[in-house]
């Protein structure tokens, strides 16, 4: 699903592909800069192919989900 992410370096919203996935190794959360242990997390991918790894709760803070 396409979402807008609002926690970027320049403060502008970025259009990203949103996926909930399972990771096998620890990643760093782009939103809060703390560790995401192996397991479920959110992967945002920009049009340019940049990947933002986020905790689920951080995604809820920075992502503008489409309204249904």
* Phi, psi of 56, rounded to the nearest 5 degrees: -60, -45
SS3 category, 26:
coil
What per-residue confidence (pLDDT) applies to 53? 97
The contacts of residue 20 (CB under 8 Å, 6+ apart) are 40, 41, 42, 43, 56
pTM for this model (two decimals): 0.85
Taking the chain (68 residues) in runs of 10, the rounded mean pLDDT of each run is 77 89 96 95 95 94 77
């Amino acid at each position: 699903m396409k979402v807008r992410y609002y926690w970027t370096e320049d403060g502008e919203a970025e259009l990203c592909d949103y996926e909930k996935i399972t990771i096998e190794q620890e990643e760093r959360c782009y939103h809060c800069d703390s560790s995401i242990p192996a397991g479920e997390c959110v992967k945002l991918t920009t049009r340019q192919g940049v990947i933002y790894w986020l905790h689920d709760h951080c995604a809820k803070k920075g992502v503008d989900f489409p309204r249904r």
